[in-house]
A = this chain, B = another copy of it.
Amino acid sequence: MPGRLLVACDDRPGIVAAVAGFLHREGANITDSSQHSTDPHGGRFFMRMEFVRDGLQEDAADLEARFGEQVGEPLGGDWRFAWPWQVKRVAILVSRYEHCAMELLWRWRRGELPCEMVGVVSNHPELREQVEPFGLPYEVVPTPPGGKPAAERRMLELLAGRCDLVVLARYMQILSGAFLDALAVPVINIHHSFLPAFPGAEPYRRARDRGVKLIGATAHYVTEELDDGPIIEQDVERVSHAEDVGALERIGADVERWVLARAVLWHLQDRVVVDGRRTVVF
């Protein structure tokens, strides 16, 4: 498993040479490299490198310090290393529709999602029986009318400091800005339309009413502005006049499953970098 280095800074000549030169001096072999510049003149520069070397784990802290001193500080941007032994801890929030949560758990069990699953939280008890065979705790945190502040406090007890990523796998409650701030880790949501079309509720019904010929799903980072966070991944499926709302929901469930699975995988692989309202996906 390789180490990863992510850099985001103002574009200028010499960044690749500085970073590649550093890794070479450290005896590392660059096995993958991607870069993106929003504009070579005055734009923003993003880079992701994977590299291998023996003995990384013992030396990682020192290597990070040396990088900061020799490259990071002079560049003046953001940078971080991601190490293979720092496995990300993931929590899933779900309501009553099970398909997205099951897809993630199933891929995790067969080794496709490189993470530690810490548990599932739901505002409903229904999915307990399907989740527990995966050997995970299933916590029910109901959100009765007026009960959202208490529910969010309870969820913070369960989640804050205990996970590095929260996935909303068809969790049908809106999370407050205060909750997101206190949680302080990225949150990925799956929205059941190809945003920005049909934001908000009942997208399949509205897609049916509008007579669209494609329905889709969108995985995005959650921000305080509902359905407006940076998009990580989208996909669509073809539909026709013959599909009623129920059929659109069934077809859409498949698109939701694989769009969310891809977005979570790419996040776990440190491939997704937020660039304002957009993402760079290396």
Inter-chain contacts of A250 with B (CB < 8 A): 112
B-binding segment of A64-72, A140-148, A234-242: A234-242
A214's partner among B34, B40, B235 (CB-CB below 8 A) is: B235
Does A194 lie within 8 Å of B214, measured CB to CB? yes
Mask of A28-42 contacts with B, CB within 8 angstroms, 1/0: 111111111100100
Asked whether A258 is an interface residue with its Cβ less than 8 Å from the other chain, the reply is yes
Please report which residues of chain A, range 16-70, place their CB below 8 angstroms from some CB of chain B when the two chains form the complex: 16-18, 20-21, 23-25, 27-37, 40, 52
Does B30 lie within 8 Å of A23, measured CB to CB? no
Does A211 lie within 8 Å of B196, measured CB to CB? no
Asked whether A3 is an interface residue with its Cβ less than 8 Å from the other chain, the reply is no
Does A234 lie within 8 Å of B254, measured CB to CB? no
Asked whether A74 is an interface residue with its Cβ less than 8 Å from the other chain, the reply is no
Q: Which residue of B lies closest to A15 (CB)?
A: B30
Does A214 lie within 8 Å of B240, measured CB to CB? no
Copies in the complex: 4
Inter-chain contacts of A267 with B (CB < 8 A): none
Asked whether A230 is an interface residue with its Cβ less than 8 Å from the other chain, the reply is yes
A233 to B240 Cα, complex, angstroms? 9
Inter-chain contacts of A269 with B (CB < 8 A): none
A236 to B234 Cα, complex, angstroms? 11
Inter-chain contacts of A16 with B (CB < 8 A): 16, 20, 23-24, 30, 33
B-binding segment of A81-89, A170-178, A184-192, A273-281: A273-281
A34 to B36 Cα, complex, angstroms? 11
Does B212 lie within 8 Å of A195, measured CB to CB? yes
A14's partner among B24, B37, B212, B214 (CB-CB below 8 A) is: B24
Does B99 lie within 8 Å of A110, measured CB to CB? yes
A236 to B238 Cα, complex, angstroms? 10
Inter-chain contacts of A213 with B (CB < 8 A): 231-234, 281
Mask of A240-256 contacts with B, CB within 8 angstroms, 1/0: 11100000001000100
Which residues of A line the B interface, CB within 8 A?
11-18, 20-21, 23-25, 27-37, 40, 52, 98-99, 102, 106, 110, 112, 133, 194-198, 209-214, 216, 230-236, 240-242, 250, 254, 258, 275, 277-281
Give me 18 other A-B pairs in contact (C-beta within 8 A), A98-B110, A196-B212, A213-B281 excluded. A11-B29, A13-B27, A15-B30, A16-B16, A16-B33, A17-B20, A17-B23, A31-B40, A32-B35, A36-B241, A106-B106, A195-B197, A209-B277, A211-B231, A213-B231, A213-B234, A241-B279, A241-B280
